[in-house]
Amino acid sequence: MKILRTPEEMQRAAQALRCEGKIIGFVPTMGFLHEGHLSLMKIARERADVTVASIFVNPTQFGPNEDLAAYPRDFERDEKLCRETGVDLLFYPTPETMYLDSHSVWVDEDSLSEVLCGAARPGHFRGVCTVVAKLLNIVLPDFMVLGEKDAQQLRILRRMVRDLNFPVEIISGPTLREADGLAMSSRNKYLSPAERAEAVCLFQGLEKAKELFAAGERDADALKEAICEIINKTTGTVDYIEIADNESLKSFQALEKPVLVALAVKFSGARLIDNAVLGK
Ligand code: PAF
């Protein structure tokens, strides 16, 4: 596995590979890798001639009061995991090479980004879209693999690729879960042991919603209340529980089409998100 540290170096390598007709598969990450990330790399490896992963804790997607400085980092461990998973090229740039002092161009998605995590974290998806647009221009992949745990991010990046005509296919990989059902996330590390035990409430809430939906419940508020009841038994606070159109992310009351149930819960150590699609 080769490590490339500047955008220029990475882009040159990608251009050479494309000239040779190689299929490039790409997995963007912010590092502190877990099985969920590795499963996306495995999906890329199965379809690509060359698998590229990036590790970049993107400063522009963190708000002023968010956890940028404290975001967990362990490059040595990540590098080893990428190597073992069969990544061919690892792009590991610094913030200074990704964002020059005079950086002034941004990518804004202004519909899907207004709700859910976008409402709770203003500017977050502008940072995500901008960095992913840059990464696509640097890595020049044929396809990019993204996780379904970040449901809103996945839909926004699909929209960005469609609306800005990026010549890249987006493939999604399923959420990987711990044995008790908690969705794998780099932020789980911030939870105290007691919070870690309680954090399964997001999964339990989603399972309850699925159960009610399967039994015929079609009122969004009834599902939200059932989820809220489960979260309220823990020390976590509900940031949002939303039932939205699976594509437009617009809020829904009567559940006739496939809907996305998405929630965010704040513990003292971390804000966790999870989701499920009902009626697929
Ligand atoms: O999902 C993430 O880890 C990040 O938002 C991404 C896509 C790597 C952009 O920084």
Closest ligand 1 atom, residue 28 Cα: 8
Residues 6+ apart with CB under 8 A from 200: 180, 181, 182
The model's pTM is 0.96
Q: What does the CA dihedral 8, 11, 15, 17 come to, rounded to 10 degrees?
A: 120
Which tens digits make up the pLDDT trace of 188-234? 999 999 999 999 999 999 999 999 999 999 999 999 999 999 999 99
Closest ligand 1 atom, residue 147 Cα: 1
Q: How far is the CA of 159 from the centre of ligand 1 (A)?
A: 16
Which tens digits make up the pLDDT trace of 92-138? 999 999 999 999 999 999 999 999 999 999 999 999 999 999 999 99
The domains found in the chain, sorted by start residue, are: 2-173 (3.40.50.620), 186-275 (3.30.1300.10)
User: How far is 96 from 123, CA to CA, in rounded Å?
Assistant: 20
Asked if residues 243 and 258 have their Cβ atoms less than 8 Å apart, the reply is: no
User: How far is 27 from 84, CA to CA, in rounded Å?
Assistant: 15
Q: How far is the CA of 146 from the centre of ligand 1 (A)?
A: 9
